[in-house]
Structure 1
Amino acid sequence: MNSNKVVTISDVADKAGVSKSTVSQYLNNRFEYMGEQTKLRVAEAVEELGYQPNIVARSLKQKTSTTIGVIVANISHEFSTEIVRSVEKYCNESNFHIIVCNAEDDPEKEKKYIEMLRAKQVDGIIVFPTSTNKELYQSLNLENYPMVFIDRYVPDVNVSAIMLDNAKASSLAVEEFTRLGYERLGIVTNSTVNNVTPRIERIDGFSEALAENQLEIYESYIKGVNIEDFPRELENMMTSRDRPDALLAGNDLALIEVLKYAKNNQISIPEDLGVIGIDDVSFASFYNPEITTIAQPTEEMGEKAAKLLLDQIMNRAESSPQIHRFEPTLIKRLSCTEQGGKEYEGTF
């Protein structure tokens, strides 16, 4: 054939000796009533002719873009990248594509990304909500636009959300510190100004766990601050008269700041300071000492978010939106040890 001629679905049908509807069914993976020989002839015709489906035309005809948007709060979080990887895997297996946007915890940027994704006619959105765009979420909800929240939820917005049991994550850390003999405990995480759900829940869960374990609550050791303020807040804590003997880092970025501060100020872990981080970051197992962490089941969480969204798109949604909570897991390593010295026998 003329190499300059655009190959059409009719050309493929003629080459394979089938109807255009059969070729269309093949291209859309609808093989229920198609014999193996027919599939083989169509596949060979597509390959020989170099046929490329017109994705835009197909989207207009089927009224779907087979594309979703994923808006993460901060792509710097390893948690976010792991969730995106899991979402992409599930969507790819379902013949959907994803567009990833990084809102950087900025409500205005998040709003612009939502508007952009709508303009591109994506079929739905998975979002780590900043919580301050409540009216925008409500308007999308009223349109029955497919949407799933992940890592956070927004009160009074009726959207399914994928969440860690954040209170339990903090409780696991407090119980581990207590079991090992630490008494003056603190928690540091990112700013709570915008009422970001996991940060609030982890701090509240931490305070509740202290009370349950009959430990004194040191309010000055419970901090939710902007990332640039971490060095100053850690300095205030660690130079106080009764400085904390153990810290819970509320997420991976907080953990990095704690480790940087300890290194820069010759604070030995775990001898001078026990440390646990929420999120099992990739470097936790080979940092010296290895870092005890609270792991989130990111693969399962991302897959669940993607499934919920695609079910909405395919009109198979839940009867009513729900908050789906996932269990945290304590991974014991060497950054907090009994009496600051005894080592664990392996990783659990």
Structure 2
Amino acid sequence: MKNITIADVASQAKVSKSTVSQYLNKRYEYMSESTRQKIEQTIKELNYHPNIVARSLKQKSTYTVGVIVANILHTFSTQIIRAIENYFHQHGFHIIVCNADDEPEKERNYIEMLMAKQVDGIIIFPTGGNIDLYKSMIKKEFPIVFMDRTIDELEIPTVMLDNIQASTLAVDRLVESGYSRIAIVTTSIIRNISPRVERIQGYKLALEQHQLPVQSIYIKTPEVDQIEEALDELFKQGKPPQAIIAGNDRVLIDVLKYIKQHNLKIPSEIAVIGIDEVSFASFFTPPITTISQPAIDMANLAVDLLLKQIKGADSADEKKVYRLQASLNERESC
């Protein structure tokens, strides 16, 4: 079968090749509605599919971007991916999603692979373990945006939650409900991963604002496979916590599992708040109070920042950290 070309479409639709090209690039303002409909109908009749490789060579763009998440198991990661994909689709871009599993070496391999595939830019949830590679990307002026995590020494536009405000919302809610022995459990901070560190900072600041003591026995930062052991340490001490802030959705699942295994009653024996909304929170028994991240707004901002770089419209004031506000979902767990 003969390969249908843009010239064939133009000939049958009785328009110029440049008009068909404008249509394919969704520049509909350059043609009348009747011309647009005629081209659309001709493309369907001829079963024409644009040559993506040729288009990329001509326009020096693959219309593809990479998204590297630190851990795809987090609900927030999947929410962000979905929102990013939707917004990029509106701009005619495809995305390639990679999961680094919080492993710097895996992240490095994915960055190198995506750059070899000549993607137009990358949105990264950085592991923090590839500073040299991030610096190399900056030097090459490769479009890059960080999501969820910041690295202070690098001038890379970053979109993340106001984590201190999120923890403050949680502590304020618990104190208002009469709790004073409040624990926070998050995953490991060994690599100084900013959301985890900042949520603990926010927790400490909020306790101090309420004139409550900050006690290290109520702060736990275990590896994922050691969360149960950390919870044991919390509950087996002389004065166990009255309330727990789960630092992310994965911790929340382990906290709720532990509570069920030990027949503890929520909220009469232990109150719970989770940072990160989860799908089951509203129909759990009792419904779980959570702190939501504005995932769609964060994703859209990250896409806008990356597209500015791709289009060469990046400016110095864009190389900053954007912190969006969290919101409280009040339910019955505290």
TM-score by length of 1: 0.94
> Aligned residue for 1:341?
none
Alignment of 1:327-342 (within 5 A): 327-336=325-334
Shift of 1:17: 1.6
Letter in 2 for 1:327: Q
1:138-168 Cα deviation digits (max 9, x unpaired): 1101111100001011121100101111111
* 1:184 paired residue number: 181
* Greater mean deviation of Cα atoms: 310-319 or 245-254: 310-319
Match of 1:304 in 2: 301
Deviations 1:33-70 (A, max 9, x none): 32233223222221111111101110111100111100
Match of 1:70 among 67, 91, 95: 67
Please identify, of 228-237 and 16-25, the stretch whose mean Cα deviation from structure 2 is larger: 16-25
Aligned residue pair count: 333
Structure 1 stretches of at least 4 aligned residues deviating more than 3 Å after TM superposition: none
Which residues in structure 2 correspond to 1:1-348 (within 5 Å)?
4-320=1-317, 321-336=319-334
TM-score scaled by length of structure 2: 0.97
AA partner of residue 322 (structure 1): K
Are the aligned partners of 1:185 and 1:218 in contact in 2 as well (CA < 8 Å)? Answer: no
**2:243–2:271 CA contact under 8 A, matched in 1:** yes
- For structure 1, list consecutive stretches of 5 or more residues without a partner in the other structure: 337-348
**2: CA distance between counterparts of 1:114 and 1:249?**
31
- How far apart, in 2, do the equivalents of 1:30 and 1:332 lie? 46
Secondary structure, counterpart of 2:28 in structure 1 = coil
- Please list the CA deviations of residues 4-54 of structure 1 after superposition, one character each: whole Å capped at 9, or x if unmatched: 111111211211122222222221122333223322322222111111110
Determine the C-alpha separation between the residues in 2 that align with 1:270 and 1:179: 14
**Partners of 2:94 and 2:213 in 1: CA distance:** 50
The amino acid across from 2:327 in the alignment is T
Letter in 1 for 2:59: Q
Q: For 1:255, give the aligned amino acid.
A: L
In structure 2, runs of 5+ residues without a counterpart are none
Q: Using the aligned pairs only, state the percent identity.
A: 50
Note the aligned Cα RMSD (angstroms): 1.0
